[in-house]
Amino acid sequence: MTSGAAVRVEPAGSPAYEVRIGPGIAAAFADEIAGLPGIQQGRLFAVIDTGIPPAWVDTVLDACAAEGFDVTRFTIDPSEKNKSIETFRAVLCAMADAGIERREPVLALGGGIVGDIAGFAAASYRRGVPVIQCPTTLLAAVDASVGGKTGVNLSLPDGSLLKNMAGAFHQPAAVLADVSALVSLDERTFRAGLAECVKHGMIAADWSDAGLLEWTRESMDRILARQPGVLVDLIARNVAVKARVVAADEREQSDTGGRALLNLGHTYAHAIETIDGLAPDGGPLLHGEAVALGLVAAAECSRSMGRLGASDVLVVRGVVEQCGLPSKISGLPDDATLLDRMMHDKKTSGGRLRLTLLRGLGRAELVSDPPAEAIAAGWSAIRA
């Protein structure tokens, strides 16, 4: 039987919590929920992603009911459009209708979208109730569920959609990464989650895991076969890197990097991920697919500034391709349009572009106003 793992997250300004990882961990943890700090037994409000198998949801929630929780269910169809103020309001209303009190928890069962909405509702309802995150995608397990970022998109009257523009930092009381939930993920979604693992590997030398990228490359066959034991190790090592970054800079306030280093590849990615027609199915890229391209672009931008060797860029491209993720794409707009889109990313500061770049494989830092030619070299590297 595959054993599990636990990683402790210790944010400076919030109570510490554990990320438990293993097959069946979400149901197995039910008897510990009432013992978590700030939680009392009573009602439990479950926010459920429609994309996850009902049988898995029933197993988890039946275990909670067996521990004496009175469970209310609320389902969300996860899409960027539904990650809205309207859905947030509907969750809050349902929580009020269920009579949820201040020490009664929200349980978020799903991918990053559901976790972000449920977390934001938990942060706001009665000025804050506990949330337990149960990520069911690889991306949510290694990234979105850990670190307390919650929120929804803002849709402006002119029709533009500002991603994650309204939200709060609200650290979970626990994270339960159940690797059995990952088995049923469709192949494209599973592979997209690997992009955040590659990203962690590309910065991990500065965060006490210099071997992470190499281990990911060597373990790729077993990862893609979704062997439970290797998934536990993959999630645990990635969460440990993220936990160290979050402990150093819980609210992304550091001027020298900290949590902003987790945006490696993301400024490039955000410039292309909402463009329709880039994916083979004629729709937009998944976030992880855009991040994979962004990682190659950021590596090449770093090389073009003399910060990274050409062989390291090849390593990055190689691991992205090993994951089955795109490292080149056709149909991108011209450089000027892409640069303009990068400037409008919410990570820009005072109208200046700050990019997370590499200063060697495994080491990232923030660079203000990188030269336009270096940024363009990044875009060239991913044009098919």
Binding residues (CB under 6 A) for ligand GLY: these are: 143, 147, 149, 259, 262
- Least separation in angstroms between residue 294's CB and ligand GLY is 13
- Least separation in angstroms between residue 238's CB and ligand GLY is 12
CA 16 to CA 18: how far, in whole Å?
7
And the tokens for 307?
A: 């910060």
CA 338 to CA 329: how far, in whole Å?
14
- Least separation in angstroms between residue 143's CB and ligand GLY is 5
Q: Which residue is nearest to ligand GLY (CB)?
A: 262
CA 53 to CA 320: how far, in whole Å?
29
Question: Given the complex with ligand GLY, which of 23 and 78 has the nearer CB atom?
Answer: 78
Question: Given the complex with ligand GLY, which of 143 and 312 has the nearer CB atom?
Answer: 143
CA 374 to CA 307: how far, in whole Å?
11
Question: Given the complex with ligand GLY, which of 196 and 300 has the nearer CB atom?
Answer: 196
List phi, psi (to 5°) of 51.
Answer: -80, -5
- Least separation in angstroms between residue 272's CB and ligand GLY is 18
And the tokens for 105?
A: 């928890």
Question: Given the complex with ligand GLY, which of 250 and 312 has the nearer CB atom?
Answer: 250
- Least separation in angstroms between residue 139's CB and ligand GLY is 10
Q: How many Å is the Cα radius of gyration of the chain? A: 20
Question: Given the complex with ligand GLY, which of 104 and 143 has the nearer CB atom?
Answer: 143
DSSP states along 91-153: HHHHHHHTT--TTPPEEEEESHHHHHHHHHHHHHGGG---EEEEE-SHHIIIIITSS-EEEEE
